[in-house]
Amino acid sequence: MRTGHDLHRRFAARLLGLGLAVTLAGCAGHGSAEAPVRRVRVALIGWDGAGWSVLDPLLRQGRLPHLQRLLERGARGEILVEPPIFSPIVWTTLATGFPPEEHGVSDFLLPDPRDPTRLVLASAFHRRRAPLWWIASQAGRTVGFVAWWTSWPAEPVRGYLVSDHLVYNRWAAWARMAEGETYRLAYPPELEAALRPLAEQAQRYDEASLRALVPFDTRELREAREAARPVMFHAPSAFRFALATDRGNAAIARHLLDTRAQPDLFSVTFILGDVAGHLFWHHSEPEAFPPYPEPGRLREAIPNVWEQLDRWTGELVERLDPETRIVIVSDHGMRASGALPVPGKNPAGDHDPRGILVLSGPGVAPGADLGAVPALDFAPSVLALLGVPVGRDMPGRVHTSWLTGRQQVQYVASWGAGPPAPVETSPADEAVRERLKSLGYISP
């Protein structure tokens, strides 16, 4: 197994080599007399499961004031994704600019590199294409990522990377770390100890926070309180643990922006909108679930969740430099499954291939329509916006309407496979496998 020293040495070597290639590519075809273009800083905020069919009514009601302000100085569109619409697949496509058959993350569970007969949760060591955080680091830009899917084990970057395994979540809420093990949950490694106190402890029952978003009845509150683990599509337990995930990641993101210089490329991902859609869609659209005996009893659950995500987003935006270009993106939207949720079997809300895209900040034409943007176009467009060369082998195109002023698209031949990922076992693997069995994604 590679040591941390080996990884950092190899990373530095790649940084030097590819940095030279970037410099040469950036100079090609551009006049030396042209005035330098001011560096653009970008913040990516992931709203898992967000769709305009839910957000637009809330915007009209004035319930999403922070998103409304971003839209008033920005543009909107849709992200279009191809099936299968699974979170680890789509978020990896958004991060790399390649489809699953090329980036390597093609399912929730994939063969263990050390034992192909055993399936493990899709992770960084399955990814075969360089992600945004590594590309930007190679190009000399600073990055700060929190909770992006398949970002564990945390890779060396020019800045920080908080993996999706640091905070307890619905996939691995009870995973216990062996004493003394670090498991590369964050980079740099010492960041983990500093952030762990901010990670929401999912086992701690916080009824006030729960009821503020979902007005569960007495029976449901008892089930939530007594739950030792989330049961897939069981609203009281699954929502309780998912709320802990996003509360923890929101706290970590705020702390990092408060205590460190804002990186050139900042990102945080929230998953609660997706969870709420799976659990409560039948309350928001009861007519799609005939016959449904208690229409709309929890009809405010999904709107309440998006209000909370809007508040967390506002808390982050106010910490960013006003000149930051802010991008909100989802991996998909949500729609009715047509079947009432059954714990461990099926959800009320299913994935819709149309997600949201918002681009806001200096230089963006207010009210502009970004149109329907294929997921493959996201990474090259973000790189161009950031002023980082785009790989010519990326199948997506750059949307030049995202660029500011005199920004011009620069290219390199390829960013390759990305960093050498250590092959390790996360303490979450077994818990994740059990969650996926209950989802029906894998066989018992």
Q: Are 267 and 235 spatial neighbours (Cβ–Cβ below 8 Å)? A: no
| Residue 444 pLDDT exceeds 70 | no
- Please give the pLDDT value at position 2: 37
Q: Estimate the share of the chain in helix, then strand, then coil, as percent rounded to the nearest 5.
A: 40, 15, 45
pLDDT grade for 424, boundaries at 50, 70 and 90: low
Residues 6 or more apart in contact with residue 162 via CB below 8 angstroms: 145, 146, 147, 151, 154, 185, 186, 191, 195, 249, 252, 256
d(CA 332, CA 180): 38
d(CA 188, CA 184): 9
| Residue 190 pLDDT exceeds 80 | yes
- Please give the pLDDT value at position 433: 54
Q: In what order do the strands lie in the sheet with 143-146?
A: 186-187, 159-162, 143-146, 265-270, 42-47, 325-329, 354-360, 74-80, 369-374
What's the whole-number mean pLDDT along residues 228-252? Answer: 91
Which of helix, strand or coil describes residue 43? Answer: strand
Higher pLDDT, 150 or 393: 393
Average model confidence (pLDDT) across the chain: 85
Q: Specify the residue for token string 């409304």.
A: 68
- Please give the pLDDT value at position 175: 30
Residues 6 or more apart in contact with residue 408 via CB below 8 angstroms: 30, 37
Q: Where are the alpha helices (DSSP H) in 296-389?
A: 301-317, 378-386
Side-chain-side CA neighbours of residue 44 (13 Å): 28
Other C-beta atoms closer than 10 Å to the C-beta of 84 total: 13
pLDDT grade for 395, boundaries at 50, 70 and 90: very high
d(CA 394, CA 412): 10
- Give me the percent of the chain exceeding a pLDDT of 90: 67
Q: Specify the residue for token string 């005939």.
A: 290
Side-chain-side CA neighbours of residue 220 (13 Å): 15
Sign of torsion over alpha carbons 300, 306, 312, 317: negative
| Residue 11 pLDDT exceeds 70 | no
Helix axes 87-96, 378-386, angle to 10 degrees: 40
- Please give the pLDDT value at position 173: 36
| Residue 9 pLDDT exceeds 50 | no
- Please give the pLDDT value at position 229: 82
d(CA 302, CA 308): 10
Which of helix, strand or coil describes residue 156? Answer: coil
Higher pLDDT, 48 or 109: 48
Least confident among 90-104, 122-136, 193-207, 222-236: 193-207
Q: CA dist 154 to 8, 10, 66, 165, 368, Å?
A: 12, 15, 31, 9, 37
DSSP-derived pairing of the beta strands 390-391 and 411-412: parallel
Helix axes 301-317, 235-259, angle to 10 degrees: 10
The model's pLDDT over 27-36, given as tens digits with 9 standing for 90+, comes to 333 333 344 5
Which residue from 262, 257, 272 is spatially nearest to 315, judged by alpha carbons? 257
Which residue from 289, 275, 186 is spatially nearest to 233, judged by alpha carbons? 275
Which residue from 145, 143, 161, 250 is spatially nearest to 198, judged by alpha carbons? 250
pTM: 0.86
d(CA 93, CA 152): 16
The model's pLDDT over 269-322, given as tens digits with 9 standing for 90+, comes to 999 999 999 999 999 999 999 888 777 889 999 999 999 999 999 999 999 999
pLDDT grade for 220, boundaries at 50, 70 and 90: very high
Structure tokens, 11: 């990373």
What are phi and psi for residue 359, nearest 5 degrees? -130, 120
Q: Are 426 and 175 spatial neighbours (Cβ–Cβ below 8 Å)? A: yes
